[in-house]
Structure 1
């Protein structure tokens, strides 16, 4: 009994050290690109709850941007990508800029910009798509690939937009 408990404890410690190593590798990653992927969907508030939750449709051609700041809080890089027919985007940003400055992923913000679908073009903050997502922790770390995954981000229909009122009443 004591021997099996000891073996289990050793296995747990090994697993914890592996996870710690992966996290350290990601934090210290000196690769040449910041890779960010995600999805943009349409949620129609006029549907029943079941359809609203499960019936999100991808938006082709939606624009998502990435803005990376420098240490002085100035924009170091701005770029964007359009979604494909599955609503997926894939931003690949070179970490070293033309002037030799190095972008830091944790100073980058990814957010919704626009939707080409006139029936679903009101940005929501589900998944922080409207305010933006900071790149804090990579989703995948494998050899030379460090990839961040954000979202999904959502747009909704104009009839779902909450009207703005004076003095927030």
Structure 2
């Protein structure tokens, strides 16, 4: 510490001596310099011209210049320089270690249990099916072949009426009366034998056919038609009962009281009506 203070004092002495020398040099530099008037230049000489000569102009007189008096320069006073006090040297800090992450543990999952199969009830022992006693095949008694249907003769019946003039053109038999003497035709279109027969109605308008060559084997090929009327006032055939276009044979619904030697079929009823030009009487 004393050595440092000594060095500071030596520096201060040197600085003060340097400032004294510098002030002396400044004073010498500021002394006045003697001023001399400038010498007059010789007048130029011109040939062929005459000029008047004038006496030389005396130089202006100036008072002597005094140098400015400056106050003595004082050296700057500096505070004593203290040596820098260095802080105490700290030992180096050891390097910082990164934090050690904790060891990663795998997630603990509960142990997987295998699914418990459903409890099945005990299966009873399977018994083999008891075979049914074998019976010998029972055959129904053989029936004798049925005989072919017996062909019978065919008979056809029906009734023909004359309609009332009041109900002309109307499909009804109200007020109708049996027509006697009307002509009726039976026609069968058999490929082997064609058959056409005609007959007339009785007083009750009833007609009956019993052809000798027609049997029940071919009755479905026969039809009955109304042909003519004996009354000019009731002569227009109608299609009542399909009499105008041909009526098919229909087996009778009422069985006969006694067995008959033929199969009875019924057609109609048929009807004629008055013509439109015939006036109706009340």
CA distance in 2, matches of 1:60, 1:130: 18
Cα contact 1:65–1:79 (8 A) shared by 2: yes
Aligned residues: 123
Q: Which residue of 1 aligns with 2:267?
A: 150
Q: What stretches of structure 1 of length at least 5 have no aligned partner?
A: 1-27, 162-169
Q: What stretches of structure 2 of length at least 5 have no aligned partner?
A: 1-148
1:79 corresponds, among 197, 203, 206, to 197
Q: Is 1:30 aligned to 2:131, yes or no?
A: no
Give the alignment's TM-score, normalised by structure 2.
0.39
Higher strand share: 1
1:104 corresponds, among 215, 218, 222, to 218
CA distance in 1, matches of 2:185, 2:217: 15
Cα contact 2:161–2:176 (8 A) shared by 1: yes
Give the alignment's TM-score, normalised by structure 1.
0.64
Q: Structure 1's 159 and 70: CA in aligned 2 closer, same or farther, altered over 3 A?
A: same
Higher helix share: 1
Q: Structure 1's 103 and 111: CA in aligned 2 closer, same or farther, altered over 3 A?
A: farther
Q: Which residue of 1 aligns with 2:242?
A: 128
Cα contact 1:66–1:108 (8 A) shared by 2: yes
Q: Which residue of 1 aligns with 2:180?
A: 60
Q: Structure 1's 118 and 69: CA in aligned 2 closer, same or farther, altered over 3 A?
A: same
Alpha carbon RMSD of aligned pairs, Å?
A: 2.7
Q: Which residue of 2 aligns with 1:44?
A: 164
